[in-house]
Amino acid sequence: MHPLVELAKDTIENYVRNGTISRPNELTPEMIERSGVFVSLKVSGLLRGCIGTYEPATANVAEEVITNAISSATRDPRFPPVTPDELSDLEYSVDVLTHPEPVKNEAELDPKRYGIIVESGKRKGLLLPDLEGVDTVARQIEICRSKAGISSREPVKLYRFRVKRYW
């Protein structure tokens, strides 16, 4: 298990069982960088929680993982909080994001390679890359618009980013 995934798992297990937040004894080189991070949880291949930041909100990637792991397990509005009984069934992944860059048009996007952010005013929708069932740019944009409450008639700004996905 990659150290970032191990950190997410340990954080969630300690928090769900004891209400405590643990910190790593040693930071790996990836952990000391600053970047946005998403922590995703699945059970039997089905999404159980996913929360993240597309730009760094804390001092380093380790802190992003800790904060977003707890949020994925306890604050994803689509799911009830993870219970101690579920911990042994959880599958973890951690995505470390590059800085989002604006794109001029949809031709610069690729749903397997890039995650996207769709923005209209203060509303933003984000979708990670390489998700099962999301095979076209149009579908990526449609999902992001829906997440952000942006109608198909509203003009949007598009951004793309890459991820390093750890299991």
> What's the pLDDT tens digit per position in 150-165?
999 999 999 999 999 9
- Tokens 């042994």 correspond to 88
- The CATH code for residues 3-97 is 3.30.700.20
What confidence tens digit (pLDDT) does each residue in 46-59 have?
A: 999 999 999 999 99
What is the pLDDT, as a whole number, of residue 41?
A: 98
What is the pLDDT, as a whole number, of residue 85?
A: 98
Q: Where are the domains of the chain?
A: 3-97, 101-162
CA 165 to chain centroid: 10
Residue 118, both tokens: 């769709």
What are the contacts of 65-68 at 24+ separation with CB within 8 A? 65/4, 65/7, 65/8, 65/11, 65/31, 65/37, 65/39, 65/94, 66/7, 66/11, 66/21, 66/23, 68/8, 68/37, 68/38, 68/39
What is the pLDDT, as a whole number, of residue 11?
A: 98
What is the pLDDT, as a whole number, of residue 14?
A: 98
Report the pLDDT averaged over residues 94-99: 98
Q: What are phi and psi of 29, to 5 degrees?
A: -55, -40
User: Does the pLDDT value for residue 145 go beyond 90?
Assistant: yes
What confidence tens digit (pLDDT) does each residue in 38-90 have?
A: 999 999 999 999 999 999 999 999 999 999 999 999 999 999 999 999 999 99
At residue 5 the predicted structure's pLDDT band, cuts being 50, 70 and 90, is: very high
Partners of 159 in the β-ladder: 102, 117
What is the pLDDT, as a whole number, of residue 22?
A: 85
- The CATH code for residues 101-162 is 3.30.1490.150
User: Does the pLDDT value for residue 6 go beyond 90?
Assistant: yes
Residues 6+ apart with CB under 8 A from 17: 84, 87
Report the pLDDT averaged over residues 109-126: 98
User: Does the pLDDT value for residue 104 go beyond 90?
Assistant: yes
At residue 138 the predicted structure's pLDDT band, cuts being 50, 70 and 90, is: very high
